[in-house]
């Protein structure tokens, strides 16, 4: 008897791949509520700047003499800075002359963007007309220590500015709760030293340092404290649908506007899940989020939340830019098991980009991970994963381990979902 198959499109790179999955094994497919894109994005952004959340209008907050920095996101984020910046800068320039405005790409510890990447991310016209610089982790100023002991080193230009604005995209985040808001300051423009404390072993291991949690999340609260110390003045954050259209704009008070945006995102991204899966199939939601394996840990972490202990995660992620930071590969490659990854971090921190290794290893203690990607097989195995050519090959292998009746949950856009387990 022929097995009935269900075809499901999975975002991968700039396109997608079609996974053919036995219908009888599928428990559910987790998808976001797909909100409609705004009819006029530019007008919506302009109005949000003129009627912001818990804040006077932007033009009333700045003076002609002010030096203003605008913090934009880098190319690992789908934030549409090329659509946010034109109305934002136009509103600013109604008061502040252009030569007083600097755009800083809030890279965190990511590599700098070259001219072509800046043009793709921010828009060619913006790059040509404004002073645009990449964050430099070696050009920071120590401004104090948080109540949790994090030394706060912030980009010198940010500290020397009179007014600080950040763009951002709000989505579930696997240890900060949600992205956006305060993250443009920390980790966006902080130092390696700040990262190692805020992303340290104990902070990452805290039970509330998880997706969708803000209240009681020590890492999030530490980021907020850093953003307050750096005097972040105003934010313009957006929510997106699956077509990368802006559905909501939250602008204004850097913390209250962000909280409002997170609440909207929680309602859109939250999906009830009736049970844990034996096999979870997911992605990192295509480009630019699946640029490398380092970023793909976000989608893997979402899948881990709804996969039973001993279950298998199959993830499709193009990883067109490779592994990500070399230190990410080196730490995993230096040991033979996820347990040893955890032990090495505890004993030797600070080390590399340990937070990503730690979260990945935490998943690997409970789940085998099968990866469909453009990475070579040896690299995938060095990351303690199993390389597979297709989702179907991954399923065949998983069924051979877990049995033909293994139950499957599919998350086509892994990092954009907030699973709400009902059991």
Bridge pairing between strands 26-29 and 151-155: unpaired
Name the percent of the chain lying above pLDDT 90. 96
248 among known catalytic residues: no
Do 13 and 320 meet the contact criterion of CB atoms below 8 Å apart? yes
Name the percent of the chain lying above pLDDT 70. 100
- Residue 53 corresponds to which tokens in the numbers above? 């959340």
Q: How confident is the model at residue 242 (pLDDT cuts 50, 70, 90)?
A: confident
Please identify which of the residues 110, 220, 258, 367 carries the catalytic annotation: 110
State residue 331's pLDDT score. Answer: 97
Chain length of the chain: 423
Question: Domain extents for the chain?
Answer: 5-30+274-421, 41-268
State residue 113's pLDDT score. Answer: 97
Please identify which of the residues 135, 173, 253, 258 carries the catalytic annotation: 173
Q: How confident is the model at residue 324 (pLDDT cuts 50, 70, 90)?
A: very high
| pLDDT above 90 for 181 | yes
Q: How confident is the model at residue 1 (pLDDT cuts 50, 70, 90)?
A: low
Identify the CATH homologous superfamily for domain 5-30+274-421.
LarA, C-terminal domain (3.90.226.30)
Identify the CATH homologous superfamily for domain 41-268.
LarA, N-terminal domain (3.40.50.11440)
Across the strands, what pairs with 419?
Answer: 271
Summarize pLDDT for 387-402 with one digit per residue, the tens. Answer: 999 999 999 999 999 9
173 among known catalytic residues: yes
Segments of 24-171 assigned E as strands: 26-29, 68-72, 101-105, 131-134, 140-145, 151-155, 163-169
Summarize pLDDT for 10-29 with one digit per residue, the tens. Answer: 999 999 999 999 999 999 99
Do 268 and 250 meet the contact criterion of CB atoms below 8 Å apart? no
Q: How far apart are CA 254 and CA 160, in angstroms?
A: 19
State residue 76's pLDDT score. Answer: 84
Summarize pLDDT for 86-110 with one digit per residue, the tens. Answer: 999 999 999 999 999 999 999 999 9
Summarize pLDDT for 147-164 with one digit per residue, the tens. Answer: 999 999 999 999 999 999
């Amino acid at each position: 008897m022929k097995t009935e198959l269900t075809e499901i499109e999975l975002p991968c790179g700039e396109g997608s791949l079609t996974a053919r999955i036995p219908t009888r094994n599928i428990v559910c497919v987790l998808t976001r509520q797909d909100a409609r894109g705004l009819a006029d994005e530019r007008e919506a952004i302009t109005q949000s700047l003129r009627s912001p959340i818990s804040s006077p209008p932007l033009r009333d907050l700045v003076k002609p003499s002010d030096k203003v920095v605008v913090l934009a996101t880098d190319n690992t984020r789908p934030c549409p800075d090329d659509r946010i910046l034109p109305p934002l800068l136009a509103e600013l320039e109604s008061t502040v002359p252009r030569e007083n405005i600097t755009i800083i790409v809030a890279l965190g510890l990511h590599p700098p963007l070259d001219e072509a990447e800046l043009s793709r991310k921010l828009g060619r016209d913006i790059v040509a007309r404004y002073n645009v610089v990449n964050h430099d982790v070696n050009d920071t100023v120590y401004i104090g220590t948080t109540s949790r002991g994090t030394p706060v080193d912030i980009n010198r230009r940010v500290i020397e500015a009179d007014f600080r604005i950040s763009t951002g995209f709000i989505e579930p985040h696997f240890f900060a709760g949600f992205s956006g808001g305060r993250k443009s300051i920390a980790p966006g423009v902080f130092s390696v030293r700040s990262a190692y404390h805020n992303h340290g072993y104990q902070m990452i291991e805290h039970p509330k340092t998880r997706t969708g949690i803000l209240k009681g999340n020590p890492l999030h609260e530490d980021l907020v404290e850093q953003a307050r110390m750096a005097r972040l003045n105003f934010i313009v954050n957006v929510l997106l649908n699956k077509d990368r259209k802006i559905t909501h704009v939250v602008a204004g008070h850097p913390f209250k506007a962000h909280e409002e945006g997170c609440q909207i995102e929680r309602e859109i991204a939250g999906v009830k899940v009736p049970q844990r899966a034996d096999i979870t199939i997911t992605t990192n939601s295509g480009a630019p989020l699946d640029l490398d394996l380092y970023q793909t840990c976000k989608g893997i972490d979402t899948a881990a939340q709804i996969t039973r202990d001993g279950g298998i995660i199959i993830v499709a992620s193009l990883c067109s830019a490779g592994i990500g930071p070399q230190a990410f590969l080196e730490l995993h490659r230096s040991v033979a098991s996820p347990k040893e990854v955890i032990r090495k971090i505890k004993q030797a921190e600070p080390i590399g980009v340990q937070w990503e290794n730690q979260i990945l290893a935490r998943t690997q203690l409970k789940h085998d991970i099968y990866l469909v990607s453009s990475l070579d097989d040896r690299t995938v195995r060095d990351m303690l994963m199993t390389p597979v050519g297709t989702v179907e090959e991954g399923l065949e292998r998983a069924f051979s381990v877990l049995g033909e009746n293994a139950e499957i949950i599919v998350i086509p856009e892994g990092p954009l979902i907030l699973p709400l387990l009902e059991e």
